[in-house]
């Protein structure tokens, strides 16, 4: 499970970096309202990517917390059964 | 009794599935509206598309802190663990969204203003809120006694909530570079209708996602605190 999540995150980040690099213009950033509106696309990809990665990391944190609580619960159950 | 519990579990699961599917569909519709259906803004260009995720993240920041402040008041009055768990979870989740606001904002500012960061009133007050959220989480992590941590946290959450109206009205009080996002006296918030619809769908989706994540986080927090209580009781009995 952890390996799959790590792999999925790695793929997500790689695609995200690749898209950003591929749309970034060698001429540098430009102020809006000039020439092609697509020239600033890498900022949009970075911003949307940051939101998705941020949310994915938080969901992963919740999953890890749930897992650690499950472990703690089974440890307590074992402790209780031992004392009986 | 058992069948009642079972049907309640089924209901809860059903609501969960519907909410999760709605969030996924909401994001799909938002992406379609933002990138395919809605046109490119004439002055700001393609970078204006950041608006549709930046504004909902900022709204969730307000919402999270608002919920945390109300829960903190209720905790201080009633001393009930549930209210503290809601406040803590809400601020933790709010910190994630404030971080996203602070990341997406400069990415929009660079092509629009020519700089990633300016010490504008709204940007500065948002940064202050983020620091308050971080200090809340640090306080909760480092104060060892849970009751004391909850009480100190509740007071800090209430103090931090004072920053929300300051952030909101900062663009009116101190005229900086940050624009007024929605003008309340104009129809559709002063936005063209297609932009307004895309923003509203994005806002609704983010709000639903926030409540989904908040429910999960509160449940986990309640389980965690109960487990801690049980463990402490077992050890106390073992030592006695």
What's the rounded Cα separation, in Å, for the pair B73 and B156?
11
Cβ neighbours of residue B68 closer than 8 Å, sequence gap 6 or more: B86, B87, B88, B90, B91, B94, B157, B160, B161
Average pLDDT over residues B22-26: 94
Instruction: Select from B107, B112, B223 the Cβ nearest to the Cβ of A69.
Output: B223
What's the rounded Cα separation, in Å, for the pair B196 and B52?
10
pLDDT digits (tens, 9 = 90+) for A35-82: 565 677 889 999 999 999 999 999 999 999 999 999 988 888 887 777
Whether residue B54 contacts residue B108, with contact meaning beta carbons closer than 8 Å, is answered with yes
Residues 79-98 of B with CB under 8 A from A: 93, 96
Domain-embedded: residue B36: no
CA distance A17 to chain B (A): 15
Domain-embedded: residue B18: no
Whether residue A32 contacts residue B92, with contact meaning beta carbons closer than 8 Å, is answered with no
pTM for the predicted model, two decimal places = 0.83
Token reading at B18: 């519907």
Domain-embedded: residue B187: yes
Three-state DSSP state, B45: strand
The domain tally of chain B equals: 1
CA distance A19 to chain B (A): 15
pLDDT digits (tens, 9 = 90+) for B185-216: 555 556 778 888 999 999 999 999 999 999 99
Q: Do B57 and A31 touch (CB under 8 A)?
A: no
Domain-embedded: residue B26: no
Question: What pLDDT, on the 0 to 100 scale, is given for residue B176?
Answer: 73
Q: Do B45 and A65 touch (CB under 8 A)?
A: no
Give the pLDDT band of residue B237 (cuts 50, 70, 90): confident
Range of the structural domain that residue B63 is part of:
43-239
Average pLDDT over residues B64-77: 96
Domain-embedded: residue B91: yes
Count Cβ atoms within 10 A of the Cβ of residue A42 and give its class: 0-12 exposed, 13-18 middle, 19 or more buried: buried
β-pair partners for B41: B45
Predicted ipTM of the assembly? 0.87
Mutate to test the interface with A, among B107, B221, B239 (most CBs of A within 10 A): B107
Handedness of CA B213, B189, A31, B126 (dihedral sign): negative
Instruction: Select from B48, B57, B216 the Cβ nearest to the Cβ of A62.
Output: B216
């Amino acid at each position: 499970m952890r390996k799959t999540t790590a792999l999925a995150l790695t793929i997500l980040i790689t695609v995200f970096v690749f898209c950003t690099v591929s749309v970034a213009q060698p001429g540098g950033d430009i102020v809006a309202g000039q020439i092609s509106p697509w020239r600033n696309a890498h900022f949009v990809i970075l911003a949307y990517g940051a939101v998705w990665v941020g949310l994915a990391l938080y969901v992963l944190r919740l999953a890890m917390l749930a897992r650690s609580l499950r472990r703690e619960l089974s440890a307590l159950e074992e402790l209780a059964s031992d004392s009986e | 009794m058992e069948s009642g519990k079972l049907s309640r579990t089924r209901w809860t699961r059903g609501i969960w599935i519907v909410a999760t599917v709605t969030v996924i569909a909401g994001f799909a519709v938002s992406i379609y509206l933002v990138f395919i259906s809605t046109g490119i803004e004439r002055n700001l260009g393609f970078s204006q598309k950041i608006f549709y995720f930046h504004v909902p993240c900022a709204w969730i920041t307000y919402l999270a802190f608002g919920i945390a402040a109300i829960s903190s008041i209720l905790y201080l009055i009633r001393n009930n663990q549930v209210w503290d768990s809601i406040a803590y979870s809400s601020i933790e989740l709010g910190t994630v969204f404030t971080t996203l606001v602070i990341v997406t904002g400069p990415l929009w500012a660079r092509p629009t203003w020519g700089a990633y960061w300016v010490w504008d009133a709204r940007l500065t007050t948002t940064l202050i809120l983020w620091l308050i959220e971080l200090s809340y989480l640090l306080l909760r992590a480092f104060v060892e006694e849970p009751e004391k941590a909850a009480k100190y946290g509740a007071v800090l959450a209430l103090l931090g909530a004072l920053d929300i109206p300051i952030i909101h009205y900062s663009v009116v009080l101190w005229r900086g570079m940050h624009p007024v996002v929605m003008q309340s006296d104009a129809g559709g918030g002063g936005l063209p209708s297609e932009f307004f619809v895309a923003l509203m769908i994005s806002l609704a989706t983010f709000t639903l996602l926030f409540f989904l994540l908040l429910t999960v986080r509160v449940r986990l927090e309640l389980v965690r605190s109960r487990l801690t209580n049980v463990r402490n009781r077992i050890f106390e009995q073992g030592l006695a």
